[in-house]
Amino acid sequence: MLRTSPAFNRGFGRAWLVLGYAFLYLPILALVLFSFNDSPVANVWRGFTLKWYSALARDGEMISGLWLSAKIAFFTACGSVILGTFAAFALVKYKRFFGRTLFSGMVNAPLVMPEVVVGLSLLLMLVSVQRITGFPERGASTIWLGHLLLGMAYATVVVQARLQELNPSLEEAAMDLGARPRQVFFLVTLPMISQALMSAWLLTFTLSLDDVVLSAFLSGPGSTTMPLVIFSRARLGLNPSVNAVATLIVLVVSIGVIAASYLIARGERRRQQEMAAAARN
């Protein structure tokens, strides 16, 4: 039998967490550090420089890829949140309807389905449709379609979790007071799930901004997204321009996520205070 003292357990636990976080953050640290590396060998430190950043500013391929990715990510996030909210609503509010099992299966499957399969099958369908109707041409819109499929699944999970913990009596009260279903949704439900919608939007935005496989299958000539540019360079070997892009992305995303979670936490606190105040009255 194994006997361990509480102090040992605490120390072991702390060490495990520290090592785990080190494992998670080591590559990010290395990416950022080596973007400032003035050396012909990309992973040996020689000295500080900003030359990769000035090279990046002149890198037309990367910049146009970034712009295209940002546009696709924006529309993916908006579409995913709308479709995901609908799907989450259908699953939470309606416990019985025709083909519900198939529906919930289809909602969850893209979360784990290998992306090569999703990308290939979507492409084959688009090609078949294109053969018959001459539409759609492969490009930004077809990439958007693929990302939307993936993003919707993630958005559904996030919104569904929030909807489930909502107190149904609030909606019922609004209904008792004469609000119509649409009014209940826009005036009661939507404000209460707005934080979940915001995190779903951010999550699907970053998913889309990062995707290689679906984009590769669904892109056409002239629609090279940033991850495709990065991927094709990374395949050939180490490339400091990739480190420079990475550093900028890490910076923007960290600021965005920290700001968003601060706003979400603040909104949550305020909402709870209001609810506590309402309960006291």
110 in contact with other proteins (CB under 8 A): yes
- Binding to other proteins (CB under 8 A) within 134-163 occurs at 145, 148-149, 152, 156, 160-161
Cβ-based nearer residue to other proteins, 1 or 279: 1
90 in contact with other proteins (CB under 8 A): yes
Out of 120, 166, 170, 192, name the contact with other proteins by CB under 8 A. Answer: 120
Which residues, 6 or more positions from 260, have their beta carbon under 8 angstroms from its beta carbon? Answer: 198, 199, 202
Cβ-based nearer residue to other proteins, 84 or 281: 84
Cβ-based nearer residue to other proteins, 16 or 71: 16
164 in contact with other proteins (CB under 8 A): yes
Residue 188 CB, shortest distance to other proteins, in Å, is: 15
Binding-residue pattern over the window 202 to 241 for other proteins, x denoting contact by CB under 8 A:
xx--x--xx-xx--xx---------x--xx--xx--x---
Residue 129 CB, shortest distance to other proteins, in Å, is: 9
Cβ-based nearer residue to other proteins, 52 or 227: 227
Cβ-based nearer residue to other proteins, 26 or 190: 26
Cβ-based nearer residue to other proteins, 249 or 280: 249
For the chain, the three-class secondary structure string (H helix, E strand, C coil) is CCCCCHHHHHHHHHHHHHHHHHHHHHHHHHHHHHCCECCCCCCCCCCECCHHHHHHHCCHHHHHHHHHHHHHHHHHHHHHHHHHHHHHHHHHHCCCCCCHHHHHHHHHHHHHCCHHHHHHHHHHHHHHHHHHHCCCCCCHHHHHHHHHHHHHHHHHHHHHHHHHHCCHHHHHHHHHCCCCHHHHHHHHHHHHHHHHHHHHHHHHHHHHHHCCHHHHHHCCCCCCCHHHHHHHHHHHCCCHHHHHHHHHHHHHHHHHHHHHHHHHHHHHHHHHHHHHHHHHC
253 in contact with other proteins (CB under 8 A): yes
263 in contact with other proteins (CB under 8 A): no
Residue 103 CB, shortest distance to other proteins, in Å, is: 5
Out of 57, 112, 276, 279, name the contact with other proteins by CB under 8 A. Answer: 112
280 in contact with other proteins (CB under 8 A): no
Residue 278 CB, shortest distance to other proteins, in Å, is: 23
272 in contact with other proteins (CB under 8 A): no
- Binding to other proteins (CB under 8 A) within 31-70 occurs at 31, 34, 41-44
Residue 151 CB, shortest distance to other proteins, in Å, is: 12
Backbone angles phi, psi at 42, to 5 degrees: -65, -25
Which residues, 6 or more positions from 139, have their beta carbon under 8 angstroms from its beta carbon? Answer: 219, 220, 222, 223
The answer to whether 225 touches 143, Cβ cutoff 8 Å, is yes
165 in contact with other proteins (CB under 8 A): yes
- Binding residues for other proteins, how many (CB under 8 A)? 97
Half-sphere exposure of 51 (CA within 13 A, CB side): 9
